Chains A and B, each alone.
Chain A
Amino acid sequence: GAGVSQSPSNKVTEKGKDVELRCDPISGHTALYWYRQRLGQGLEFLIYFQGNSAPDKSGLPSDRFSAERTGESVSTLTIQRTQQEDSAVYLCASSLALVNTEAFFGQGTRLTVV
């Protein structure tokens, strides 16, 4: 595709349910990032993939959060047993794994836990 695509664009879920967020990066981009953005706030780093490997998972808030990437393409972010504090916009970005590379962002998935 022409840009980074995220789905769903909006998700409302009940507390305690599991959710899966999907990111389709730009073709050929080997680096992929997940960030969380709470209302009116900046970007909180969650996890970063280089190819299918995640060298840095330090941003995952708890063991309820996990992510994977396959085929150096699609990535999924899974949140188990969702809590109200998980409500936020989850942004995905991809970039070429080169120095001074631009990150291209999707429009995000707005997650609301009720």
Chain B
Amino acid sequence: TQLLEQSPQFLSIQEGENLTVYCNSSSVFSSLQWYRQEPGEGPVLLVTVVTGGEVKKLKRLTFQFGDARKDSSLHITAAQPGDTGLYLCAGEGSNYKLTFGKGTLLTVNP
């Protein structure tokens, strides 16, 4: 069974601060995805990382895939209240099954 551990589980910060959330596993994934979920909605894809060591930037968000393709991080610069939400990582295994972590609930206070 492939498991993804996300940390921290909860994060509350002030507007303008930087933060990093982590997604770790003992398993290798062919790709790893980050989703953001707002209350009452389903998760929406932010980015997919495929290559070990890959770094992708999406405005103030920076995503990194570990060299061994077992872990990933999401860094947000100068967080804004609109960044508030549940951030989920999901790993794609060899049979295309998506395994999700439990998520990091981020609250950015004005």
Task: Report A's interface with B, CB cutoff 8 A.
Answer: 4, 31, 33, 35, 40-43, 45, 48, 50, 55-56, 58, 91, 93, 95, 97-103, 105-108
Contact = CB atoms under 8 A, between A and B. Distances in A.
Interface of A is mostly: loop
B102 interface: yes
Contact of A93 (B30, B42, B102): B42
B100 A102 contact: no
B33 interface: yes
Contact of A42 (B48, B50, B96, B101): B101
Given A43-B43, A43-B88, A56 B31 contact: no
B45 A42 contact: no
A35 to B, nearest CB: 7
A74 to B, nearest CB: 17
A31 B102 contact: no
A100 B50 contact: yes
A56 B103 contact: no
Contacts of A31: 96
Interface string B39-51: 0111111001010
Given A42-B86, A42-B103, A43-B103, A103 B96 contact: no
Given A40-B105, A41-B103, A42-B86, 8 more contacts: A42-B101, A42-B103, A50-B95, A50-B96, A56-B95, A91-B42, A91-B43, A99-B96
Q: How large is the interface on B (under 10, 10 to 19, 20 to 34, 35 or more residues)?
A: 20 to 34
Contacts of A99: 30-31, 92, 96
B41 A107 contact: yes
A69 B87 CA distance: 29
Task: Please provide the 4 A-B residue pairs with the shortest distance between their CB atoms, ordered closest to farther.
Answer: A105-B42, A42-B102, A42-B103, A43-B100
B24 interface: no
B55 interface: no
